[in-house]
C-alpha cells in the first residue's frame, strides 16, 4: 500500500475504532490507537517532505476509487502528492500527533476521552482529505469534514451552554462562507466543464478577459469565480467579516484550540488560495481584494488582541492576525511566502496554545491573565517553551545573521509586499509593519502578566476554590498558599518538540520556500511562483528590512514601560482613551452589529412563522381544529347515549318517520 494512502486513512480508521469502541474499548486503548495512528502518519509524512526538499521526489496522483459518474461530471477519489501537499502533510500530521500526545495529560480526568480522541483523529483525516484533493469536490468533502469535526470539538463539553453556543456559531458562520465556495465550484464547472484541479489550472489562463452573467450583470469570469472561492476561504480562515467564530472557539479544550488554530481548519483557506493560485493570477481585481481583506484582518485582530484578558483569546486573535499576513502575501503574488509563514506559524502557534494550556493546567483552570503573575519560577519548563514561541511570533532576529522562525517568514511577507511595487502592496506593507508592532506588544504583555511581577493568584475564583480561602482571609499573601505545578511529561514533550520548530524552522527551510532559484525548484509548479518578485526581496531598501525589527523592539519597549515601570499605566491609559479601549475590547462591535442586522430579524421571522403561521393557522385550523370539531361532535352524540330504552325507541321512530317522509316526497316528485 502506498504511504500516502496510509497517511490519509490511518487517522480515519483510528477515529472509527475509538469512536465506536468508546467506553467498551476503554480510555487507554483508545488513546494508544489514535495517538499511534497519528505518529505513524507523521513518520510517513516527513520522508515525503524531505524528498521534495532534496529534489528526489516528483508529483504524483494515487487513485483510490472511482467516485462519481454523472453525465459530464466524472471524477475519481484520488490523492495528489506534490510539494504543496507535502508541506501541509508535515504541518497537519506533526501538530496533530503532538496534540494527541499532549491530550494524554491535559484530558486525563475527562470521562469522555475515547470520544475526544476519536474527534481529534476525524478532524485530522478531514484535513488530510482536503490537502490531498485532486478535484474540487474532494476538496469540498474535506472542507465540510473539518467544519463538522470543529463543531464536535468546540462543543465537546456540551453540558456548558457557552460551548454549545460557540459550536453553533462556528458552524453557521462557516456555512455562510461555504455557500460562496459552493457557488465558486459550480461556476468553475460551468466555465471549464470539469472539477479536476490540474485541468482547471491548465485552462485558466485562456479564460482571462472573458465575461459571464452573474446576478443579472455581465462580469469578468475569473474575477467572479475567484471572489466566490475566496468567500469560502474567508469563512474557514476567519478573515474580517467572517471571523466572529474564531475567538468563541476557545470554549473547546485547549488541545482543540491548538489543532484548529495552528494546523488544520484555519489554514484551509490559505491552502486553497495557494492551490488555485494560477486561477487567482488571472484576476488582478480578486488579488487586490485578497490583499485588502488580509491586511485589514491583520490590523483588526491585532488591535483586539491588545486588550483581551483571557490568555487563549489573546492567542486566538493572534492567529487571526497572522492569517491576515498569509492572505495579503498571497494577494501580492507571493504564494510561497504565504505557505512559508503557514509552515512556521504552525510550530510557534501550536506551541503558544499548548503552553497556555500548561499554564491553565498549573493554575487550576484559570484563564484570566490578571490573576497570574510570578509563574516564571513555578513552571520553568512551560515558561521557556512559551518564551521560544513569543520570540518566534514577534520575529526576533538580526538582519543578515538570522533569528527565530517568525523572523524569516513574517519579514519575507513584509518585504515582498513592499517589493510588489503596487499601491495595494504598499498599503499591505505599512499595515504589516504596524500589525508587527502590535503583535510584539500583546505577545510580551501576555508574557509579563503571566510569568513576571508578583503573584495575583488569590484573586482568582478557581484558586479560591482550590485553597478554600477568600482574598480577605489570605491577607497580604497573594498566593493564597496555592502551589502551581509543572505539567506531566506527556504535555512537556510536545512543548519541547514545537519549541525546536519555533527556533529552527525558519532558518532550515527559508531557502526552499522563498529564495528565487531554490523556491522554483522546490515548488515545481505546485503553486504560482514568481521568481522575479522573490528575487526583488533582496533589493528592497535597508529601512524596509529593518522595519519589522524596529516594530518588534518598539512593541517590546512599550510593554516593558507599561508593565514594569508604573504598573497603573495600563489602567490609566484605558481610562484616558475609554471609547477606543471599549471599541477594541468589544471587538469593533461586530457581534453586536450582526446580532442587530441578522440574528434579531431571523428570530423575529422565526417567531412569526411559529406563532402566527404554525400555531395560529396550521395547528388552529388543522389538527387542533379537527380535534375540536370531533370533540364537540362527540359531546353532542353523547347526549343520545343515555342508556334508557325509551330514548332509543324515540330515535328509531324519528328515523322511521324521516325515512317514510323521504319516500313519500320522492314518490310525489
Q: Return d(Cα 564, Cα 59) in angstroms, integer.
A: 54
For residue 130, pLDDT over 70 is answered with yes
DSSP conformation letters of 114-140: HHHHHHHHHHHHHHHHHHTBSBHHHHH
- Tens of pLDDT along 380-431? 999 999 999 999 999 998 888 888 999 999 999 999 999 998 899 999 999 9
Give the residue carrying C-alpha cell 511566502.
Answer: 337
Element (H, E) at 403: strand 402-403
Cell of 609: 412563522
- Residue 310 has what DSSP assignment? B
**φ, ψ of residue 73 in degrees (nearest 5):** -90, 105
Q: Return d(Cα 362, Cα 359) in angstroms, integer.
A: 5
Q: Return d(Cα 236, Cα 630) in angstroms, integer.
A: 55
Confidence of residue 160 (pLDDT cuts 50, 70, 90): confident
- Tens of pLDDT along 254-285? 888 888 877 778 889 999 999 999 999 999 99
Average pLDDT on 562-587 reads 86
User: Are 38 and 9 within 8 A, CB to CB?
Assistant: no
User: Are 240 and 317 within 8 A, CB to CB?
Assistant: no
| Signed CA dihedral, 464, 374, 551, 268: sign only | negative
User: Are 556 and 393 within 8 A, CB to CB?
Assistant: no
- Tens of pLDDT along 424-480? 999 999 999 999 999 999 999 999 999 988 888 888 888 888 888 888 877 777 777
Q: Return d(Cα 646, Cα 320) in angstroms, integer.
A: 88
pLDDT at 492: 93
Count of alpha carbons within 13 Å of 436, Cβ hemisphere only?
30
User: Are 254 and 354 within 8 A, CB to CB?
Assistant: yes
User: What is the pLDDT of the chain when averaged over all its residues?
Assistant: 89
- Residue 558 has what DSSP assignment? H
User: Are 482 and 371 within 8 A, CB to CB?
Assistant: no
- Tens of pLDDT along 60-114? 999 988 888 887 778 888 999 999 999 999 999 999 999 999 999 888 888 888 9
Angstrom distances, CA of residue 654 to CA of 178, 326, 643 = 72, 91, 17
Average pLDDT on 197-210 reads 90
Q: Return d(Cα 392, Cα 430) in angstroms, integer.
A: 21
Q: Return d(Cα 395, Cα 174) in angstroms, integer.
A: 31
One-letter-per-residue 3-state SS of 30-73: HHHHHHHHHHHHHHHHHHHHHHHHHCCCCCEEEEEEEEEEECCE
Contacts of 390 (CB under 8 A, 6+ apart): 352, 443, 444, 446, 447
Percent of the chain past pLDDT 90, that is, above it, reads: 50
Average pLDDT on 313-336 reads 93
Residue 394: how many other CB atoms lie within 10 Å: 30
Q: Return d(Cα 345, Cα 258) in angstroms, integer.
A: 11
pTM score above 0.75: yes
- Tens of pLDDT along 506-520? 988 998 999 888 999
User: Are 252 and 166 within 8 A, CB to CB?
Assistant: yes
- Residue 487 has what DSSP assignment? P
**φ, ψ of residue 27 in degrees (nearest 5):** -65, -55
pLDDT at 231: 94
pLDDT at 296: 95
pLDDT at 223: 93
Q: Return d(Cα 256, Cα 259) in angstroms, integer.
A: 5
pLDDT at 640: 62
Q: Return d(Cα 512, Cα 457) in angstroms, integer.
A: 47
Q: Return d(Cα 632, Cα 622) in angstroms, integer.
A: 15
Q: Return d(Cα 131, Cα 514) in angstroms, integer.
A: 21
pLDDT at 1: 60
Secondary structure tally for the chain: helices H, strands E: 31, 6
- Residue 378 has what DSSP assignment? T
Residue 205: how many other CB atoms lie within 10 Å: 12
Cell of 408: 524569516
Q: Return d(Cα 104, Cα 95) in angstroms, integer.
A: 15
User: Are 241 and 234 within 8 A, CB to CB?
Assistant: yes
Residue 70: how many other CB atoms lie within 10 Å: 7
pLDDT at 112: 86
pLDDT at 433: 95
Amino acid at each position: 500500500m502506498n504511504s500516502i494512502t496510509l497517511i490519509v486513512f490511518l487517522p480515519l480508521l483510528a477515529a472509527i475504532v475509538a469512536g465506536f469502541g468508546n467506553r467498551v474499548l476503554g480510555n487507554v486503548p483508545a488513546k494508544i490507537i489514535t495517538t499511534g495512528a497519528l505518529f505513524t502518519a507523521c513518520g510517513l509524512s516527513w520522508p515525503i517532505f524531505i524528498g521534495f526538499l532534496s529534489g528526489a521526489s516528483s508529483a504524483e496522483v494515487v487513485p483510490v476509487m472511482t467516485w462519481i459518474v454523472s453525465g459530464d461530471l466524472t471524477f475519481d477519489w484520488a490523492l495528489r502528492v506534490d510539494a504543496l501537499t507535502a508541506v501541509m502533510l508535515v504541518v497537519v500530521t506533526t501538530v496533530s500527533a503532538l496534540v494527541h500526545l499532549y491530550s494524554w495529560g491535559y484530558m486525563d480526568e475527562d470521562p469522555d476521552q475515547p470520544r475526544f480522541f476519536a474527534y481529534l483523529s476525524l478532524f485530522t483525516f478531514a484535513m488530510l482529505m482536503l490537502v490531498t484533493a485532486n478535484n474540487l469536490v474532494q476538496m469540498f468533502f474535506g472542507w465540510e469534514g473539518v467544519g463538522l469535526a470543529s463543531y464536535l470539538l468546540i462543543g465537546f463539553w456540551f453540558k456548558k451552554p457557552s460551548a454549545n453556543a460557540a459550536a453553533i456559531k462556528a458552524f453557521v458562520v462557516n456555512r455562510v462562507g461555504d455557500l460562496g465556495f459552493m457557488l465558486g465550484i459550480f461556476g468553475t464547472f460551468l466555465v471549464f466543464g470539469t472539477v479536476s484541479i490540474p485541468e482547471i489550472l491548465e485552462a485558466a489562463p485562456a479564460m482571462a478577459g472573458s465575461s459571464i452573467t452573474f446576478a443579472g450583470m455581465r462580469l469578468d469570469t475569473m474575477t467572479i469565480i475567484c471572489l466566490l472561492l475566496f468567500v469560502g476561504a474567508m469563512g474557514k480562515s476567519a478573515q474580517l467579516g467572517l471571523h466572529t467564530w474564531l475567538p468563541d472557539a476557545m470554549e473547546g479544550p485547549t488541545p482543540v484550540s491548538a489543532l484548529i488554530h495552528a494546523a488544520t481548519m484555519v489554514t484551509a483557506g490559505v491552502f486553497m488560495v495557494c492551490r488555485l493560485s494560477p486561477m487567482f493570477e488571472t484576476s488582478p481585481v480578486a488579488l487586490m481584494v485578497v490583499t485588502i481583506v488580509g491586511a485589514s484582518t491583520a490590523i483588526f485582530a491585532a488591535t483586539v488582541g491588545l486588550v483581551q484578558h483571557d490568555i487563549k483569546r489573546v492567542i486566538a486573535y493572534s492567529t487571526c492576525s497572522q492569517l491576515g499576513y498569509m492572505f495579503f502575501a498571497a494577494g501580492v503574488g507571493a504564494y510561497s511566502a504565504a505557505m512559508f509563514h503557514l509552515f512556521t506559524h504552525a510550530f510557534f502557534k501550536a506551541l503558544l496554545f499548548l503552553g497556555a494550556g500548561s499554564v491553565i493546567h498549573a493554575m487550576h483552570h484559570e484563564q484570566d491573565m490578571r490573576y497570574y503573575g510570578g509563574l516564571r519560577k513555578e513552571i520553568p519548563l512551560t515558561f521557556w517553551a512559551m518564551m521560544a514561541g513569543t520570540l518566534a511570533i514577534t520575529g526576533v532576529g538580526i538582519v543578515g545573521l538570522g533569528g527565530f522562525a517568525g523572523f524569516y517568514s513574517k519579514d519575507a511577507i513584509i518585504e515582498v509586499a513592499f517589493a510588489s511595487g503596487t499601491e495595494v502592496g504598499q498599503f499591505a506593507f505599512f499595515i504589516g509593519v504596524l500589525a508587527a508592532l502590535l503583535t510584539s506588544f500583546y505577545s510580551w504583555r501576555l508574557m509579563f502578566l503571566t510569568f513576571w511581577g508578583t503573584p495575583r493568584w488569590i484573586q482568582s475564583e478557581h484558586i479560591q476554590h482550590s485553597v478554600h480561602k477568600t482574598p480577605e482571609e489570605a491577607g497580604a499573601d497573594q498566593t493564597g498558599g496555592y502551589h502551581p505545578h509543572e505539567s506531566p511529561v506527556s504535555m512537556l514533550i510536545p512543548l519541547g518538540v514545537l519549541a525546536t520548530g519555533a527556533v529552527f524552522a525558519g532558518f532550515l527551510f527559508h531557502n526552499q520556500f522563498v529564495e528565487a532559484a531554490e523556491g522554483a525548484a522546490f515548488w515545481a509548479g505546485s503553486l504560482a511562483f514568481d521568481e522575479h518578485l522573490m528575487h526583488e526581496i533582496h533589493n528592497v531598501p535597508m529601512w524596509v528590512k529593518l522595519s519589522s525589527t524596529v516594530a518588534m523592539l518598539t512593541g517590546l519597549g512599550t510593554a516593558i514601560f507599561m508593565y514594569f515601570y508604573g504598573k497603573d499605566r495600563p489602567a490609566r491609559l484605558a481610562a484616558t482613551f475609554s471609547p477606543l479601549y471599549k471599541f477594541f475590547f468589544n471587538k469593533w462591535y461586530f457581534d453586536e452589529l450582526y446580532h442587530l442586522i441578522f440574528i434579531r430579524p431571523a428570530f423575529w421571522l422565526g417567531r412569526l412563522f411559529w406563532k402566527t403561521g404554525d400555531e395560529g393557522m396550521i395547528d388552529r385550523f388543522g389538527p387542533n381544529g379537527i380535534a375540536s370539531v370531533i370533540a364537540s361532535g362527540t359531546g353532542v352524540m353523547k347526549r343520545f347515549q343515555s342508556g334508557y330504552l325509551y330514548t332509543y325507541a324515540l330515535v328509531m321512530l324519528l328515523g322511521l318517520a324521516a325515512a317514510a317522509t323521504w319516500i313519500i316526497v320522492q314518490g310525489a316528485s
